[in-house]
């Protein structure tokens, strides 16, 4: 009877060791998963920053292109009703870029 009790106890001990081993494996897997998710989030944040930087550069390129078109308008060749519009736009561009705008004495 005592021998049977010892075998049962040994079996329970073995099962407990297996359970603890599996729990350790589960914790390791969860830790690895957490580290992978953290790494993925960092990469995602870096990717978003790169995408934002690219969008900013594209936006600046479009703005420069539009400003270039406006600045290259020959004011003497536009219809009179558009002259003040283009002069105002050119003045705004020059001010935004840090230059003084054309004087009003040119009229």
pLDDT in tens, 42-94: 999 999 999 999 999 999 999 999 999 999 999 999 999 999 999 999 999 99
The secondary structure of residue 78, as a DSSP letter, is S
Measured in whole angstroms, how far is the alpha carbon of residue 81 from the centre of its chain? 44
Greatest alpha-carbon pair distance for the chain in Å reads 118
Which pLDDT value is given to residue 101? 45
Q: Are 48 and 56 in contact (CB under 8 A)?
A: no
Q: How far is residue 61's CA from residue 67's CA, in Å, rounded to a whole number?
A: 10
């Amino acid at each position: 009877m005592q021998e049977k009790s010892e075998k049962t106890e040994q079996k329970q001990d073995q099962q407990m060791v297996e359970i603890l081993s599996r729990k350790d494996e589960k914790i390791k897997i969860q830790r690895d998963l957490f580290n992978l998710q953290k790494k993925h989030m960092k990469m995602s944040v870096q990717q978003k920053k790169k995408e934002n930087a690219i969008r900013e550069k594209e936006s600046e390129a479009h703005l420069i292109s539009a400003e270039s078109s406006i600045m290259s308008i020959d004011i003497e060749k536009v219809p009179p009703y558009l002259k003040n519009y283009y002069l105002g736009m050119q003045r705004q561009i020059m001010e935004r870029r840090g230059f003084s705008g054309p004087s009003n004495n040119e009229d």
